[in-house]
């Protein structure tokens, strides 16, 4: 089979996103931030709308909006009047609705809404790939830099603080990392499916890992594998690429329950002997 | 925060406001941390009022008090987790703290072996980690998942992690919680032995009325304010202590040694406090 250029670009872009969303997704899972990730992803569309309205680079618009929303949520989480999931829901859906209204008002733009909502990885160009790998390297470096401190404060925030970790700084850097990854992942699976790219490979990796670092690496591998399976599946059966990738992830996750279960029960038997 | 207040005198004895001396044993080491006239309020409610406390090198200070007496609040202020409403906290320059929190639940979604956990936050050589585990008597847990440990084993692992930091001050919040009676005594002995080995200061919190360890140098009894303080024997005899705990102490379980009798009169009231332990 001879692969077309567009398909190779899609593979390269998808794997680039999977490599960074693996380790980042682990923290989203460990810190129970799935809904938070969803909210940021929804707000990414607001970044697109603002970018079109004000005429700046869309990726920059998305990163900027996501960071602003992330910091706003963090700020509001300290108040006790509204529960944090309610707050996140309000933020997620208001930013989604506002951005759809703004996009509707923008006469003269032919916005392909579906590609923003569900991704259009088969249409990525070289500029997108530069953004994905450039952003990916920045995000991965940031995450590597804060890794040990973030891990400590994920385990016990007060302990981290007591032992001299600058909790606010680390949390802010983490938010920025999430914002960058959402902006680049949007090109592959779209705003409605980004969270799946973060949490499903991480959840699937859990059963095969003994340490946080192993889980991060395995999540990257499972994510990359889902990209490959999903894209070939989408080519074979002519299905939409973003959802096909997510379906591949789900299949891998379910297999991890079965095979991971087998491996675990064998090791525990071995230990029992 | 380093504050501007003067370094406390090393034999600073605590004054409970009773107007007489409680004759705490004078500590030999240099002061590590000192709180002066701390007051902490949460939304108008006073959690602790005018509390002063010093921990020196090579001494064990135990905070006791009923639930909601402000022990955890005081501890969190000393650890800089909350800002005091009033008062100052002085720390020795470059003070390294090892902390064993009251509760540390590691979610099963995070894979974590004991071996890896001991390198949090900073990487430690495997030989050091193994030595620390041996020290606390939990060497067999090295390769195990932390979620699979018993309460007592996990407390030992937490202690090992804290001492790996080579702390000047070890802060233990209810270190024997969830451990059976036999295990509690062993843990207290272990803590005392670690102190003898390394010479760090220990600040410990307990609501435990029966086993405030015999090895404690000073007991500080808190109920919103410092009720009384001194050597365990002195505190257990004081009317303030008996007023707080008297009815609950089961004879035969206490490890206090009531070697002598003395009494003192305090002319302040003990009912003015409230609680907001988070």
Q: Is A232 exposed, middle or buried (0-12, 13-18, 19+ CB in 10 A)?
A: middle
**One domain for residues B176 and B161:** no
Same domain, B221 and B86: yes
What average pLDDT score do residues A145-169 get? 92
Quickly count: other Cβ atoms within 10 Å of residue B143's Cβ.
Answer: 9
Contact status of B146 with chain A (Cβ, < 8 Å):
no
pLDDT reading at B224 higher than 60: yes
Mean pLDDT lowest among A45-54, A262-271, B173-182: A262-271
Whether residue B115 sits in one domain with residue B53? no
At B61-99, the pLDDT tens digits run 988 887 778 888 888 888 888 888 888 899 888 889 999
Could you tell me if B68 and B190 lie in one domain?
Answer: yes
The three-state secondary structure class of A67 is: helix
Query: Is pLDDT at B221 greater than 70 in this prediction?
Result: yes
Element (H, E) at B242: helix B239-245
Q: Mean pLDDT lowest for which of A86-100, A153-167, B171-185?
A: B171-185
pLDDT band at B272 (very low <50, low <70, confident <90, very high): very low
Q: Which of B61, B58, B86 lies closest to B75 in space, CA to CA?
A: B61
Residue A272 above 50 pLDDT? Answer: no
pLDDT confidence of B121, banded at 50, 70, 90? confident
User: Looking at residue B13, what is its pLDDT?
Assistant: 44
Q: Using a CB-CB distance cutoff of 8 angstroms, which residues of chain B are in contact with residue A148?
A: 120-123
Q: Name the pLDDT band for B208 (thresholds 50, 70, 90).
A: low
Query: Is B257 inside any structural domain?
Result: no
B112 occurs within a structural domain: yes
Can you list the domains of chain A with their CATH numbers? 22-264 (1.10.3470.10)
Based on the fold, state whether residues B127 and B241 are members of the same structural domain: no
Residue B264's pLDDT band (boundaries 50, 70, 90)? very low
Instruction: Give me the residues of B, 151-170, that contact A with CB < 8 A.
Output: 165
In sequence order, which residues have a C-beta less than 8 Å from that of residue B129 and are 6 or more positions away? B115, B118, B119, B142, B160, B164
CB contact under 8 A, A206 and B111: yes
Domain residue limits at B64:
1-6+28-96+167-249
Lowest-confidence range among A23-37, A173-187, B64-78, B235-249? B235-249
Crossing angle of the two packed helices A241-272 and A167-189, in degrees rounded to 10: 120
* Among B185-189, B211-215, B241-245, the range of highest mean pLDDT: B185-189
Is B18 a domain residue? no
A20 vs B250: which has the higher pLDDT: A20
Is the predicted pLDDT of residue B15 greater than 90, yes or no?
no
Cβ-based contacts of A163 with chain B (< 8 Å): 97-99, 121, 165
Count Cβ atoms within 10 A of the Cβ of residue B147 and give its class: 0-12 exposed, 13-18 middle, 19 or more buried: middle
Identify whether B160 is part of a domain.
yes
Q: Are B81 and B162 members of one domain?
A: no
Q: Give bridge partners of residue B60 from the DSSP assignment.
A: B202
| ipTM exceeding the 0.90 mark | no
Contact B135, B118 (CB under 8 A): no
What are B136-155's pLDDT values in tens digits?
888 999 999 999 998 888 98
Asked whether residue B173 falls in the same domain as residue B90, the answer is yes
Give the distance from residue B255's alpha carbon to the nearest chain A alpha carbon, in angstroms: 31
**Same domain? B213 vs B230:** yes
Nearest Cα neighbor of B87 from B95, B78, B96 is B78
Q: What is the mean pLDDT of chain A?
A: 88
Q: What is the mean pLDDT of chain B?
A: 76
Contact A162 B122 (CB under 8 A): no
> Crossing angle, helix A194-205 and helix A241-272, to 10 degrees?
20
Interface test with A, best of B79, B120, B143 (most A CBs within 10 A): B120
Pair (B232, B208) in one structural domain? yes
Minimum CA–CA partner of B172 in chain A: A159
Q: Which of A73-87, B14-28, B120-134 has the lowest mean pLDDT?
A: B14-28
Considering only CB atoms, which chain B residues are within 8 Å of A213? 116
- pLDDT at residue B11 greater than cutoff 50: no
Tokens at residue A86, please?
Answer: 């309610």
Are B113 and A155 within 8 A, CB to CB? no
Q: How many CA atoms lie within 13 A of B60 on its CB side?
A: 24
Contacts of A116 (CB under 8 A, 6+ apart): A45, A48, A186, A190, A191
Q: Is residue B262 part of a domain?
A: no
Tokens 């759809």 — which residue?
Answer: A100
Domain edge (last residue) among B166, B186, B212: B166
CB B222 within 8 A of CB B71: yes
- Which stretch of A6-15, A44-53, B184-193, B251-260 has the lowest confidence by average pLDDT? B251-260
- How close A31 comes to chain B (CA, Å)? 9
B110 close to A (CB below 8 A): yes
> Of B97, B98, B120, which has the smallest distance from its Cβ to A151's Cβ?
B120
Considering CB atoms only, which of B79, B107, B145 is closest to A161?
A: B79
Of A186, A204, A25, A29, the residue nearest A113 (C-alpha): A186
Task: Give me the pLDDT at residue A181, please.
Answer: 93
Q: Give A238-258 pLDDT, tens digit per residue.
A: 999 999 999 999 999 999 998
Q: What is the mean pLDDT of residues B215-223?
A: 83
Q: Is residue B269 one of the residues assigned to a domain?
A: no
Averaged over A6-27, what is the pLDDT? 95
Contact B73, B47 (CB under 8 A): yes
Distance CA(B147)–CA(B114), nearest Å, equals 9
Query: Is B126 an 8 Å CB contact of chain A?
Result: no
Average pLDDT over residues A62-71: 88
Identify the burial level of A124 via C-beta atoms within 10 angstroms of its C-beta, where 0-12 means exposed, 13-18 middle and 19 or more buried. buried
Residue B80: its chain A contacts at CB < 8 A? 161-162
Instruction: Give long-range contacts, CB 8 A cutoff, 24+ apart: A110-114.
Output: A111/A48, A111/A52
For B93, the token pair is: 């320059």
Position B209 scores a pLDDT of 56
Q: Are residue B114 and residue B224 in the same domain, yes or no?
A: no
Contact A245, A14 (CB under 8 A): yes
Task: In whole angstroms, give the CA distance from residue A81 to residue B136.
Answer: 45
Q: With contact defined as beta carbons under 8 Å apart, do A152 and B106 qualify?
A: no
B277 versus A249: the higher-pLDDT residue is: A249
* B206 within domain boundaries: yes
- Same domain? For B70 and B180 the reply is yes
Give the closest-approach CA distance of B111 to chain A in angstroms: 5
CA–CA distance, B24 with B8 (Å, rounded to integer): 16
**CATH number of the domain residue B179 falls in:** 3.40.50.300
Same domain, residue pair B118 and B206: no
Whether the CB-CB separation of B147 and B111 falls below 8 Å is answered with no
Q: Write down the pLDDT at residue B29.
A: 78
Residue of B221, B188, B209, B226 lying closest to B39 (CA atoms): B226
B45-56, strands of its sheet edge to edge: B45-56, B31-42, B86-91
- For residue B267, the distance in angstroms to the closest alpha carbon of chain A comes to 37
Closest chain B residue to A155, measured at CA? B106
Q: Do B107 and A30 touch (CB under 8 A)?
A: yes
Task: Find the closest chain A residue to B82 by CA distance.
Answer: A158
Shortest CB distance from B111 goes to which of A154, A165, A210? Answer: A210
In the numeric block, the tokens 């009676």 are attached to B181
Residue whose entry in the numeric block shows the structure tokens 């939990």: B138
Residue B244, both tokens: 């707080």
Across the interface, do B97 and A211 touch by the CB < 8 Å criterion? no
Within 8 A of B94 by CB-CB distance, chain A residues are none
Least confident segment among A7-21, B6-20, B115-129: B6-20
- pLDDT, greater one: A127 or A224: A224
On whether residue B171 sits in a domain, the answer given is: yes
pLDDT, residue A29, reads: 95
Alpha helices in chain A (DSSP H): 5-30, 34-54, 58-76, 84-105, 113-118, 126-155, 157-162, 167-189, 194-205, 212-237, 241-272
Better-predicted residue by pLDDT, B219 or B270: B219
pLDDT at residue A137 above 90? yes
Find out whether A95 and A44 touch, Cβ atoms under 8 Å: no
DSSP letter for each residue of A132-177: HHHHHHHHHHHHHHHHHHHHHHHH-HHHHHHTT--HHHHHHHHHHH
**Among A120, A2, A135, which residue's Cα sits nearest to residue A60?**
A135
pLDDT value at A230 more than 90: yes
What average pLDDT score do residues A54-60 get?
Answer: 84
| Number of domains into which chain B is organized | 2
**Per-residue pLDDT at B22 exceeds 60:** no
| Tokens 């969803």 sit on residue | A38
Portion of chain B with pLDDT greater than 70, in percent: 74
> Least CB-CB distance to A29: which of B109, B113, B120?
B109
Tell me the residues of A at the B interface, defined by beta carbons under 8 Å apart: 29-30, 32, 148-149, 151-152, 154-156, 158-165, 203, 206, 209-215
**Angle (CA) A200 A248 A45, round 5°:** 65
Cross-chain Cβ contact A148/B120 below 8 Å: yes
């Amino acid at each position: 089979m001879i692969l077309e250029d567009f398909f190779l670009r899609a593979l390269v872009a998808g794997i680039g996103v999977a490599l960074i969303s693996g380790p980042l997704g682990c923290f989203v899972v460990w810190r129970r931030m799935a809904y938070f990730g969803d909210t940021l992803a929804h707000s990414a569309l607001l970044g697109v709308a603002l970018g079109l309205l004000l005429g700046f680079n869309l990726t920059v618009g998305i990163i900027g909006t996501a960071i602003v929303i992330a910091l706003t949520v963090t700020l509001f989480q300290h108040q006790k009047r509204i529960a944090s999931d309610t707050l996140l829901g309000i933020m997620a859906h208001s930013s989604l609705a506002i951005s759809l209204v703004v996009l509707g008002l923008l006469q003269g733009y032919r916005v392909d809404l579906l590609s923003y909502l569900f991704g259009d990885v088969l249409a990525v160009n070289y500029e997108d790939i530069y953004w994905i790998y450039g952003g990916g390297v920045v995000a991965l470096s940031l995450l590597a830099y804060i890794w040990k401190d973030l891990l400590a404060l994920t385990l016990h925030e007060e302990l981290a603080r007591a032992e001299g970790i600058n909790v606010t700084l680390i949390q802010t850097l983490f938010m920025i990392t999430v914002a960058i990854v959402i902006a680049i992942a949007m090109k592959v699976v779209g705003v409605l499916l980004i969270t799946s790219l973060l949490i499903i490979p991480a959840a699937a990796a859990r059963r095969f890992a003994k340490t946080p670092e192993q889980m991060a690496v395995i999540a990257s591998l499972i994510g990359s594998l889902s990209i490959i399976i999903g894209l070939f599946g989408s080519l074979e059966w002519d299905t939409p690429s973003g959802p096909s990738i997510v379906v591949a992830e789900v299949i891998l996750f379910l297999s991890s329950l079965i095979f991971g279960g087998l491996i675990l029960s064998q090791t525990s038997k071995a230990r029992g002997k | 925060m380093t504050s501007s207040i003067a370094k406390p005198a090393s034999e600073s004895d605590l004054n409970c406001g009773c107007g007489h001396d409680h004759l705490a044993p004078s500590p030999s080491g240099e002061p590590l941390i000192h709180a002066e006239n701390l007051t902490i309020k949460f939304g108008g409610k006073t959690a602790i009022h005018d509390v002063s406390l010093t921990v020196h090198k090579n001494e064990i200070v135990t905070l006791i008090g009923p639930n909601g007496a402000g022990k955890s609040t005081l501890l969190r202020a000393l650890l800089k987790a909350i800002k005091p409403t009033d008062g100052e906290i002085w720390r020795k320059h470059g003070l390294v703290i090892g902390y064993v929190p009251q509760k540390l639940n590691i979610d099963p979604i995070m894979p974590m072996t004991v071996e890896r956990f001991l390198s949090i936050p900073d990487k430690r050589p495997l030989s050091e980690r193994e030595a620390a585990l041996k020290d606390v008597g939990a060497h067999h847990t090295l390769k195990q998942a932390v979620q699979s440990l018993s309460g007592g084993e996990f407390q030992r692992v937490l202690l090992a992690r804290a001492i790996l930091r080579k702390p000047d001050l070890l802060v233990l919040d209810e270190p024997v919680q969830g451990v059976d009676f036999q295990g509690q005594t062993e843990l207290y002995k272990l803590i005392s032995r670690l102190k003898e080995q390394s010479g760090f200061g220990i600040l410990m919190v307990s609501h435990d009325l029966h086993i405030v360890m015999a090895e404690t140098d000073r007991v500080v009894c808190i109920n919103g304010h410092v009720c009384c303080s001194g050597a365990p024997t002195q505190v257990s005899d004081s009317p303030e202590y008996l007023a707080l705990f008297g009815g609950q102490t089961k004879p035969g379980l206490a490890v206090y040694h009531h070697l002598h009798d003395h009494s003192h009169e305090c002319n302040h009231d003990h009912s003015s406090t409230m609680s907001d332990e988070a």
